[in-house]
Chains A and B, each alone.
Chain A
């Protein structure tokens, strides 16, 4: 029997995997992919809450799904801008390794 906690656990595990990637990887592009994983993990939690908390008419709470729709739109814009910034940094420094991008280090 699949309950809300199963979906929330998948969401949390995926968020944790993305978090691990952000902490452990050095390539900027892979870090960016892990950020996308974390965003999608939040979407799973939202859609699960929308399906498990029905409105009095017996329909899913569509406000959660609308929020996921907006998250996907914002993620698309964010990926476009982020990758443009990565290309600009690569043009200036010839590297995508975060450990070599230390000019803002105190």
Chain B
């Protein structure tokens, strides 16, 4: 991937993230989150992880985002009211965050193995000589090596569904 595209999509995902933090209207926050996730999906695709990129758009930008907007609509949240800022709290938060980022950047600066260019990938072909896609490889890994975790995750989704129904049901008197 050309460096300009990388910087473009990285900027899109970071600006979307900043939009989530600074906007007052929760609906605008939700849409900024979608912009951020679309940029992230492009970054995944630039890393040859096509399946993960598509799933990121389908699940995050599709399902999770609709759930957020639905709850915002249901609770009828207005703009956060203008009020006196707690300056001490904001300053504390910003200081913690800046220190965290400085620490992270200095660790990366010392990480020499991360300064090598992207290695070339081999192209896998099947017996008929056709190219094998990323989805095939990932699917083989999930269903062969990670079959048991996959079934555990399926149970987790079922439990979450039942839990949501129980949580949102009205009290029975």
Interface residues of B, CB < 8 Å — how many?
79
Expressed in whole angstroms, the minimum distance between the Cβ of B132 and any Cβ of chain A is 10
Q: Give the interface size bracket for A toward B.
A: 35 or more
* A37 x B71 contact (CB < 8 A): no
The CA of A79 and the CA of B64, in the complex, are separated in Å by 7
Describe B's contact surface by its main secondary structure.
helix
Tell whether B129 is near chain A: CB-to-CB under 8 Å.
no
How many pairs, one residue from A and one from B, have CB atoms within 8 Å of each other in the complex?
226
| Cross-chain contact B52 with A68 (CB below 8 angstroms) | yes
- In contact, A37 and B49 (Cβ under 8 angstroms): no
Residues of A within 8 A of B167 (CB): 81, 84-85, 87-88
Question: Would A51 and B52 count as touching, CB distance under 8 A?
Answer: no
Question: Which residue in chain A gives the minimum CB-CB distance to B16?
Answer: A37
Partner of B1 from the list A2, A4, A23, A87 (CB cut-off 8 Å) is A2
Verify if A100 is at the interface (C-beta below 8 Å from B): no
Interface set, chain A 1-55, CB cutoff 8 A to B: 1-10, 12-14, 16-21, 23-27, 29-30, 32-34, 36-37, 40, 43-44, 47-48, 50-52, 54
Which residues of B are found within 8 Å of A83, using beta-carbon distances? 67-68, 71
A-B contact pairs, 24 of them (CB 8 A): A2-B1, A4-B116, A8-B111, A10-B43, A13-B101, A23-B97, A26-B80, A27-B80, A40-B37, A44-B44, A47-B43, A52-B114, A52-B118, A54-B119, A54-B122, A58-B120, A68-B49, A77-B156, A79-B67, A80-B164, A81-B160, A83-B68, A86-B71, A96-B77
Q: Is the CB–CB distance between A16 and B49 below 8 Å?
A: no
A3 and B137 contacting across the interface, CB-CB below 8 Å: no
